[in-house]
Structure 1
Amino acid sequence: MASPKVPDGLGARGRRLWRDSLAQAALTPAQLVILEESCRISDRLDLLDSIIRGHAAAVNAGEANAGDLQRWLAESRQQSATLRALLAEIGSKSAASKTTAPGPEPKGAAGVSDLSARIAARRKKSSG
């Protein structure tokens, strides 16, 4: 199957995250949505970093208020935490899909539909 197209509007860091993530594992459609948002957050973090660097230089030069810098730093921490959570979610779903891959049922095991039939048979037998 062809690799999903890089979403429009991603910056260099987001495109790199997209390509590297898909090179490591095949993702479900839900994981692709999470990955796309992760890529956008990665790009946003680059933008925030450039803003923070500019504000830090201005604060150090005495040209700007340190409160502005603190707001950008707080937003950067929030975005980083969100990115970490999203990437962990993708990773946990990928790991879960590998460990719970469907396989043949163990010998003697019955599926859910068979379970329903057995319950109905027992109820019928006990009632009459």
Structure 2
Amino acid sequence: MTNTDAPEGLGATGRELWQAVLAEFELTEPERVILREACRTADSIDGLQARLEADGIMPALSQGRRVHPALAELRQQRITLARLWTALRVPLGEGETGRTQRRGPRGVYGVGVGA
């Protein structure tokens, strides 16, 4: 049985995510590193979302109205979480069983078609 204690410094969402994944799957140490970063990212998303809800998407500024800078960062953190989750290969749906063998996206610098 592996230790499911969440790393120090995680927020509520990060701790819940950590414990839920380790309750279902046995992870290697490198996979635990990915999971830890996914949990930290989930906590960052919560913080950014709370800031947006408190300030509004377009807070009043003295020089006019602009989109809140946290909105762009929230979008980036959501992309990061999706990529970490893909790298971890944990199924997202109820109908899926076991961990998938599909690897994460190669990104813009990966091997292209016909290369």
TM-score, structure 2 length as denominator? 0.70
Among the aligned pairs, what percent are the same residue? 35
Quick check: 1:55–1:68 contact (8 Å CA) kept in 2?
Answer: no
Which structure 1 residue ranges, 5 or more long, are not aligned?
A: 97-128
Higher relative contact order, structure no. (Cα contacts within 8 Å, ≥ 6 residues apart): 1
What whole-Å deviation, never above 9, does each CA across 1:19-41 have from its counterpart, x for those lacking one?
01111210111000000011001
Match of 1:52 in 2: 52
Partner of 1:88: 86
The structure-2 alpha-carbon separation of the partners of 1:47 and 1:66, relative to structure 1 and needing over 3 Å to count, comes to farther
Greater share of helix residues, 1 or 2?
1
Count of matched residue positions in the alignment of Structure 1 and Structure 2 = 93
Tell me what 1:107 maps to.
none
State whether structure 2 residue 39 is matched by structure 1 residue 39.
yes
Q: Does 1:75 align with 2:80?
A: no
Structure 2 unmatched runs, 5+: 91-98, 102-115
Give the ranges of 4+ consecutive aligned residues of structure 1 lying more than 6 Å apart after TM superposition. Answer: none
- Which is greater in Rg? 1
Counterpart position of 2:19? 19
